Amino acid sequence: NGIAVVIVAAGRGERAGQSAEGPKQYRRIGGRAVLDRTIAAFRDHPAVGRIVVAIHPDDQMLFRDAVADPGRQVSVVHGGASRQASTRLALESLADAAPAHVLIHDGVRPFVDAALIDRVVAGLAECDAVLPALAVADTLKKADGDGCVVETVPRAGLFSAQTPQGFSFAPILAAHRRAHAAGLADFTDDAAIAEWAKIPVQIVAGAPDNVKLTFAREIAMADERLGTART
Ligand code: C5P
């Protein structure tokens, strides 16, 4: 039982542009693949049991090259057409094992650290859904289709969501199944599915370093940072 982890890494990473190394989760930063770093962060954590990684069916060779030694606790499933589908398929693969809790994480957030995992796990003692998030720091603008500012959105009470998001396993799997059965397919994170299913979501402090590598520029910056820090 205990805490399982789902890492979704089946995206095509189109926003990062083309690269010989394939989708962004397979790019090398500081000499090591993004996804290999992400998996290691959870594998090295003492509270974590099984880890399921959702990858694209076309990426098996890339995965093998990137993650030379996944470790015995890691299994791989094929993801789906959306992040939501990839998460659901990974959760289904854990249904028989029925862990008490699951952490769901983006494969493209390699800088997740043990303290952040600890905060999410600690939150799960109190509630069924835990979201690490950062208060929004920038001033937010709403614009029309031509880039003309329509209004300034008050940022008080606004947060940007990170992962790993923690859940009691049975309710989040049930919520995913219901969302799928209802034909809803556009949820961009699992906390949103919990909200839809009326599961209260508790925020804990995210980590500023826990960035999502989405664009080529962010990948280059991460590579530079690791190149000088040599972690
Ligand atoms: O595309 P986005 O930046 O929202 O992707 C977030 C995470 O979800 C990435 O780690 C990506 O690989 C994963 N994903 C997935 N299956 C998809 C689309 C995205 O596992 N079909």
CA dihedral 116, 72, 66, 221 (to 10 degrees): 10
Q: What's the CA-to-centroid distance between 177 and ligand 1, angstroms?
A: 19
pLDDT band at 175 (very low <50, low <70, confident <90, very high): very high
pLDDT at res. 112: 98
- Of all residues in the chain, what percent carry a pLDDT higher than 70? 94
Structure tokens at 98: 């029925």
For 48-100, the pLDDT digits (tens) are 999 999 999 999 999 999 998 888 899 999 999 999 999 999 999 999 999 99
Write down the pLDDT at residue 20. Answer: 58
Task: Give the C-alpha separation, 37 to 26, whole Å.
Answer: 10
**So what's the pLDDT on residue 13?**
72
Q: In whole angstroms, how far apart are CA 144 and each of 6, 138, 148, 150, 160?
A: 37, 19, 6, 6, 22
Q: Which residue's entry shows tokens 């069916």? A: 57
Ligand 1 neighbourhood includes 123 CB (under 6 angstroms): no
- Residue 165 Cα, ligand 1 centroid: separation in angstroms? 14
What domains are there in the chain, each with its CATH number?
3-229 (3.90.550.10)
Ligand 1 mutation pick, 106, 213, 214, max ligand atoms within 8 A of CB: 106
Q: Rounded mean pLDDT of 13-34?
A: 81
Render pLDDT for 120-141 as a digit per residue (tens, 0 to 9): 999 999 999 999 999 999 999 9
- Alpha-carbon separation of residue 108 from 33, 55, 63 (angstroms): 10, 12, 14
Instruction: Place 19 in a pLDDT band, splitting at 50, 70 and 90.
Output: low
Task: Tell me if 22 CB under 6 Å of ligand 1.
Answer: no
Residue 21 has pLDDT above 80, yes or no: no
The ipTM is 0.98
Residue 220: partners with Cβ closer than 8 Å, 6 or more residues away = none
Query: Please, what is the average pLDDT of the chain?
Result: 94
pLDDT at residue number 2: 83
171 pLDDT higher than 90: yes
Q: For residues 82 and 88, what is the distance between their CA atoms, to the nearest angstrom?
A: 10
Task: Decide whether any atom of ligand 1 lies within 6 Å of the 226 Cβ.
Answer: no
Secondary structure (3-state) at 199: coil
pLDDT at 148 over 70: yes
Q: What is the pLDDT of residue 230?
A: 53
Q: Is the CB of 107 under 6 A from ligand 1?
A: yes
Q: Per-residue confidence at 227, pLDDT binned at 50, 70, 90?
A: confident
